[in-house]
Amino acid sequence: MANILVIDDEEVDRFIFESSLKGSNLVDKILSFEDPILALDFLTEYHEKKAYLIKEERIDIIFLDINMPKLTGLELLEKLKSIYTFSQVPIITLSGSDNPADIKKSYSLGANGYIIKPVKIKDYTEMLTKVIKFWSGVSKTYVLS
């Protein structure tokens, strides 16, 4: 069971994201942030307090919307991947578009996947399930200490 953190300024998109995973037996907890700066503050504290050592508090996958005001998803991705703790956590960028520049920039900054948000909840559920299954499987060789 994975603990998921999602950062997306759009309330509707966060609702669809959370609804897509409602009842999923792959997910234990979903933490949701509207404001990327508050999310960065939370994650900085998480890193400093080594909260990942506590199983219940550990964040297994981060989903990050690209288009956000104040701090874009790509800026936040760059900040997070420069922190050792988050270099070891899968960060998946989310976007409504398949803009090649965003895709390239995401992978250049160390994204562990780029998802084009599906419109239908059913499709979103299917997509997120594949993402969580992949990272749950890979976590056999995925270590953080």
Partner 1 sequence: MCSANILLIEDNVADVELTKRTFREVGIDLKLNVAFDADAGLSFLNSIDDLENHGPSLILLDLNLPKKNGLELLQELKANTKFAYIPVIILSCSQNPEDIREAYKSLASAYLHKSIDRKEYIETVREFKNYWLDTVALSNKQPLGDC
Q: Does 119 bind partner 1 (CB under 8 A)?
A: no
Can you read off the two tokens belonging to residue 98? 């398949």
Decide the pairing of beta strands 27-33 and 2-7. Answer: parallel
CB of 1 to partner 1, least distance (A): 18
Site string for partner 1, 84-103 (x = CB under 8 A): x--xx---x-----x-x--x
Q: To which H or E segment does residue 65 belong? A: strand 61-65
CB atoms within 10 A of CB 101: 8
Please tell me the distance from the alpha carbon of residue 48 to that of residue 73, in angstroms, as a whole number: 22
- What's the number of CA atoms in the CB half-sphere (13 Å) around residue 34? 4
Residue 20 within binding range of partner 1, rule CB under 8 A: no
Nearer Cβ to partner 1 (31/103): 103
Provide the minimum distance between the beta carbon of 114 and partner 1 in the complex, in angstroms, as a whole number.
5
Q: Binding to partner 1 by residue 116, rule CB under 8 A?
A: yes
**List of residues contacting partner 1 (CB under 8 A):** 81, 84, 87-88, 92, 98, 100, 103-105, 107-116, 127, 130-131, 133-134, 137-138, 140-145
